[in-house]
């Protein structure tokens, strides 16, 4: 028996993953990645880079992608909670421009697999979050692109929040998807 439940999302190639968690009076143990289990589920990646970020409530990071070096990502939260989003930008995809959104939390211990060809971003829902992700391609700063978090053609249904949004300068300046016609 594998250590994960792989739930297919409504867009092909995207998975919401639940690890088996072994809990006792000492705490818990879980695998966060197992190449054999992932390959059996059809996720065949060689991860080459791990990243971690820390953000406060109201921070919205994204929606980012790499233009010529697209990355598949396996993301999870180790502290706090986020609303995580993947937008399909794959050329010739029947779901181009559509998104999948999921709440990831340290409490649930769930993960999100995003294949190559997607824009990715998240909104911090808790007071603080620590967010980790594995990538199957190295980060190339000169290759980075993005679309606005509130692009009307994507129409992401972000959770409501009381705090003011905190965005980076680059995230504010992205062109709309319909103007950009991004295909990865």
Known catalytic residues are 64, 133
CA distances from 129 to 25, 29, 89, 124, 176 (A): 26, 21, 27, 7, 28
Contact 137, 47 (CB under 8 A): no
Peptide bond into 63 cis (omega under 30): yes
Measured distance CA(21)–CA(29) in Å, rounded: 6
Give the chain's largest Cα–Cα span: 55
**108 CB-side CA count, 13 A:** 17
Contact 31, 19 (CB under 8 A): yes
């Amino acid at each position: 028996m594998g250590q994960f439940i792989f739930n297919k999302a409504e867009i092909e190639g995207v998975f919401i993953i639940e690890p088996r968690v072994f809990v006792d009076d000492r705490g818990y143990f879980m695998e966060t990645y197992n190449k054999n289990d992932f390959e059996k589920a059809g996720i065949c990646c060689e991860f080459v880079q791990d990243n971690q970020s820390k953000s406060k409530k109201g921070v919205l990071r994204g929606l980012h992608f790499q233009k010529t070096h697209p990355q598949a990502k396996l993301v999870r939260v180790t502290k706090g909670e986020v609303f995580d989003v993947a937008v399909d930008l794959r050329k010739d995809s029947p779901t181009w421009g559509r998104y999948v959104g999921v709440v990831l939390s340290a409490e649930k211990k769930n993960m999100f697999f995003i294949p190559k060809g997607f824009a990715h971003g998240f909104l911090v829902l808790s007071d603080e979050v620590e967010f980790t992700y594995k990538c199957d391609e190295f980060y190339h700063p000169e290759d980075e692109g993005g679309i606005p978090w509130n692009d009307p053609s994507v129409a992401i249904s972000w959770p409501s929040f009381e705090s003011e949004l905190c965005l980076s300068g680059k995230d504010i300046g992205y062109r709309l998807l319909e103007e950009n016609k991004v295909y990865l």
